[in-house]
Amino acid sequence: MDYIADGVIGFGGGGGFGGAFLSMLGTNQGNAPLNTYYGLVYYPVETKSKEKIQEVFDKIEQELIHVALENRDLRHISSSLTSDGKRTHTFTGGSCDFQAELFNREKSNSCDFIHHNPPKLLKYSTSTPSGEKGLFAVIGIEKFYTATYLSLDLDKKYYVF
């Protein structure tokens, strides 16, 4: 049953059948499925310049924050790195209250609405899983978490498993 749930999330999260299979194979963590997600970003680039990849990482961070501000009742407070290297984006607003209620937590003035491990350049590709052609930096983001299914509001270059 856990594999079915992982597959449904992978398929519905924009990955299609490939996403379903990757989710079923790649994210099950023993007896605690669904506790981690993996993000792939096919980010369009002009060259395979390693020097420019930090700009891509920065743009991804800004896009994540922008999508949260545009689609949820939130105000961005800060972004930080935790002691274990995780990137955390802290917000305040009504969506934080909803998240606290959803997870049966005490309401707080703020919440870590988005958090993930630092992005990594996996490779370059000349096409996306959806068939778009061009030059793309394929970015992997481990432990990619967005509260209240914000990942569904990301544009088509994001794949979340």
Per-residue pLDDT tens over the stretch 49-106 = 888 999 999 999 999 999 999 999 999 999 999 998 999 999 999 888 888 888 888 8
Is 0.85 topped by the overall pTM?
no
Cα separation, 119 vs 140, whole angstroms? 6
Q: Nearest CA to 65 among 154, 140, 142, 137?
A: 154
Which of 49, 32, 15, 61 lies closest to 157, judged by CA? 15
Distance of CA 27 to the CA centre of its chain: 14
pLDDT of 64 reads: 94
Contact, 144 vs 118, CB < 8 A?
Answer: no
Q: What is the pLDDT of residues 121-160, one digit of tens each?
A: 999 999 999 999 999 999 999 988 887 778 888 889 988 8
Task: Delimit the domains of the chain by residue range.
Answer: 1-35, 39-160
pLDDT band at 45 (very low <50, low <70, confident <90, very high): very high
DSSP structure class, residue 31:
T
Q: Which helix (H) or strand (E) holds 159?
A: strand 158-160
- Contacts of range 66-69, beta carbons closer than 8 Å, 24 or more positions apart: 67/150, 67/153, 67/154, 68/95, 68/113, 68/114, 68/146, 68/150
Phi, then psi, of 139 in degrees rounded to 5: -105, 130
b/e sequence 6-19, b meaning 16+ C-beta within 10 Å: bbebbbebbbeeeb
Which is more confident, 42 or 37? 42
